[in-house]
Amino acid sequence: MNQQPDHHPDQLVIRGLHVAVEGQEILKGVDLTIGRGEIHALMGPNGSGKSTLGYAIMGHPSYEVTAGTIELVAADGTRRDLLGMEPDERARAGVFLAFQRPMAIPGVRLADFLRHAVTNVRNPERKEGQELMPMKEFRSELKAKMSELSIDSDFARRYVNEGFSGGEMKRAEILQLAMLQPRFAILDETDSGLDADAVRLASQSIARIGGAGGDAASGADAMGILIITHHEQLLEHNVPHRTHVMLGGRIVESGGAELAAELHKRGYERIRAAYPDAAAAERAMEESTRNQEAAGV
Amino acid sequence: MSDKHTMTTAAQKSPAPIPASTGFDHPLLDRLLTGSSLPEWAVKLRRDAVDRLDTLSLPGRGEENWMRTDLRMFQPRAWVSAAERPATSGEAIPAGLLESATQGAAAVAGTVAFGGRIASLDGHVVRDELDPVLAGQGIVFGAPERILAEHGERFRSRWFSAVDGRADWFAAMHAAFHRAGAVLWVPAGVKLTTPLHVLSAITPGGLDTSHVLVVLEEGAEATVLTETVGGGESGSDGGFHCGATEIVVGRKASLRMVNLQNWSRGVWHFARQRAAVEAGGRLQWTLAALGSRLSQVQQDVALVGRGADAQVNGVMFTEARQQLVYNTLQHHMAPGCHSDLLYKGALQDRSRLVWRGMIKVDKAAQKTDGYQRNDTLMLSREARSDSIPGLEIEADDVRCTHGATSGRVDEEQIFYARARGLTADEAARLVVAGFFQQVFDRITIPPVREALSAAIGGRIRRVS
């Protein structure tokens, strides 16, 4: 890297974000600022809107932003409007989403998929049809990353997520994170479906890739990471600078690492009691979902 | 369907209508044979075929293999004058897709691309070459008119032995009026390592009736690539192909055959193709289709000797209003044979793709292992595919199975790829490439694989 260390990291800034899916509002005004080098934990009961936030940041076409802004703010104050970008433009701007349920692409080798992805993300101005990253260079980098992450070497030859176990899918997501080195990463339950050892490995891998948990946090390579999780273990090597609690489509409380620890121990009863409006919204959303299911929607 | 209904239909069919002359008649044949040095038996076959043609109408939609083929706009008479189209002088034939790819790969490897090449334009042979070293090994390869004149007796029993020249109007028309194509004969034990190439081209509005005969004697090996190019984009400027391919794979012989149909978008394509594989013989037969306005292909494989093996691959990409219809037959006639058919097609726009496959197992063909599979991928909501597998089994100790899938490109797959920085178009191309990967993995000729993959990739537009 020939860049100077950046003491004023870029920020991912979300303001007043409202998001609806098929006409139903899921996010009801989310404010969140993530700086590079920072780790944020996003917690909350199922259905509170955590994954929706991830999809909305990445630009999933089914998630309609009805109000609010998502911007990338550079150290010099330049702002880039993420909402005006296609999903692939967002990826090339340095945003990454590790999917809770990654999609299989049968017949496409993970290495070929990644070579396309890496080429585009590193050359945001690349036009379609222009040369991909040289095979030799790509392979040696991939090999190095895989060995760093203790991933089996035949993994890259397998088809993207095709027939992968839950654990393998999550490892493939982490490998992609490592290769793409985004500025901002949203990790949506990258620990779900993993056993304790696998979560520990994932936690270490993320810490290593993100340059977190140490002095590197202020370096130019450091990522801003939003970790969506129900478990404490993933945070073991990625101690959050901030913890946010989502309930009924809003972030109702933020705190430090101690908040994550409290929620793990005690659950969301205190939160629901302290924020009755959000708890009511949560119940309404649950009811609406149940009614839709009952109606066969 | 009730018996009563069937009887009514049969009654309506009879008496058969007297076919109107299509202009493909004896006088036309006489003019085309002027100055020909074909052996007498070959001329007689043609005259008999014209007699047969006079009794036939175009296949109707009441016939099982034709009920999904729309011939309403097809007028045989419109193509009679094309049969007498003179040789176009000074016109460069477009290079074939497989031809360029193979030459490219050979240039990189510093090897020879082809052991022999034949090319024709509007039925006129414009290239007819065989490496003298191969000729020295006894291999016969050349344009049919020359080969029959020079080696007539050797091919008398083979000529139209595998394909039926009387089956229907197109079969008879071909048997009477076929021109150019190729004959290959590989003597016992001779293993050809370089591929042979056969290119059949037409000018806009042209007619191609090429006939291909491949005979491998015991233990012989060869790779043959055939492809069709040219014609016009629409209407009377299109073109008409009425062709046939016959293949005999001898005992313990091994043939890799690739047929690429890459006509322009206005060409009518009718092809009848049949291979007979003898004991211990192996056939890898790949059909690829990118072009034509309408295609009707009959592809039959007969496993006639114990332990014969056939792998059949289909790669189809259709777009605009193309209609491609394939009828396949895997006929197990001897015990212990293996056949495995995999057809994969991707459909764009308002195109239509039909596959009707049959595995037929004769009573003698015990220990048969037969498989057929057809997968289609829809790239638009207006496209339509039909998969109709069938089994007809008379032996009792067999394993025959079939499968078919039809899917759409999944929006979630596209989003996943876009979230990793691929554009929507790149994502669609990758998903389609992945769909074809399974059949490409089976094609053991790398330049063919790559050429098809690139050609399909270039045709895919944003998924609608």
User: What is the per-residue pLDDT for A289?
Assistant: 81
Which of B344, B405, B409, B415 is the best mutation test for A, with the most CBs of A within 10 A? B415
**Chain B neighbors of A93, CB-CB under 8 A:** none
DSSP, collapsed to helix, strand or coil, labels residue B256 as: strand
Decide if B81 touches A, using CB distance below 8 A. no
Tens-digit pLDDT string for chain A (297 aa): 344 444 445 899 999 999 999 999 999 999 999 999 999 999 999 889 999 999 999 999 999 999 999 999 998 888 999 999 999 999 999 999 999 999 999 999 999 999 999 999 999 888 877 889 999 999 999 999 999 888 988 899 999 999 999 889 999 999 999 999 999 999 999 988 888 888 888 898 898 888 654 444 445 568 999 999 987 888 888 899 999 999 999 999 999 999 999 998 999 999 999 999 999 999 998 888 888 778 765
Would you call A116 and B421 a contact, using CB atoms and an 8 Å cutoff?
yes
What is d(CA B76, CA B366) in angstroms, rounded to the nearest whole number? 44
Tell me, yes or no, if A91 comes closer than 8 A to chain B by beta carbon. Answer: yes
Distance CA A182, CA A96 (A): 6
CA distance A275 to chain B (A): 34
Chain A with chain B: Cβ pairs closer than 8 A:
87
Structural domain boundaries of chain A?
Answer: 11-101+186-294, 103-163
For B:390-429, CB contacts with A below 8 A are: 410-413, 415-427
- A108 in contact with B, Cβ within 8 Å: yes
CA separation for the pair B339, B190 (Å, rounded): 25
Contact (CB<8Å) B434/A99 = no
DSSP string computed for A37-88: T-EEEEE--TTSSHHHHHHHHHT-TTEEEEEEEEEEE-TTS-EEEGGGS-HH
CB contact under 8 A, A176 and B436: no
User: Tokens at residue A135, please?
Assistant: 């095979």
- Residues of A within 8 A of B418 (CB-CB) are 59, 86-88, 91
Q: CA–CA distance from B91 to each of B122, B234, B331 (Å)?
A: 11, 21, 43
Nearest CA in chain A to B415: A60
Is residue A107 within 8 angstroms of chain B, CB to CB?
yes
Query: Which structure tokens are listed for B45?
Result: 């076959």
So what's the pLDDT on residue B18?
62
The helix (run of H) or strand (run of E) holding residue B300 is strand B294-303
The Cα–Cα gap between B52 and A233 comes to 81
Across the interface, whether the CB atoms of A176 and B420 are under 8 A apart is answered yes
Least CB–CB distance from B421: residue in A59, A61, A92: A92
H/E stretch holding A215: none
Q: Which residue of A has its CA nearest to B458?
A: A129
- For helices B424-440 and B446-459, the axis angle rounded to 10 degrees is 150
**Minimal-distance CA residue of chain B relative to A92:** B421
Residue B327's pLDDT is: 97
ipTM above 0.90, yes or no: yes
| CA gap A227, A222 in Å, rounded | 15
CA atoms lying within 13 Å on the CB side of residue B91 = 17
So what's the pLDDT on residue B33? 94
Phi then psi dihedrals of residue A123, to 5 deg: -125, 75
Top residue of B405, B408, B422, B456 to mutate, by most chain A CBs within 10 Å, is B422
B159: helix, coil or strand? Answer: coil
Low-confidence ranges of chain B (pLDDT < 50): 1-14, 464
CB contact under 8 A, B420 and A180: yes
Architecture of domain A11-101+186-294 in this structure: 3-Layer(aba) Sandwich (3.40)
Name which of A57, A60, A88, A175 to mutate to probe chain B: the one with the most chain B Cβ atoms within 10 A of its Cβ. A88
What pLDDT, on a 0 to 100 scale, did the predictor assign at position A215? 43
H or E, element range at A202: helix A196-210
Whether B461 contacts chain A with CB within 8 A: no
Structure confidence at residue B282 (pLDDT): 98
Q: Which of A51, A99, A103, A119 to mutate to test the interface with B (most CBs of B within 10 A)?
A: A103
The verdict on a CB contact (< 8 Å) between A128 and B421 is no
H or E stretch covering A173? helix A166-180
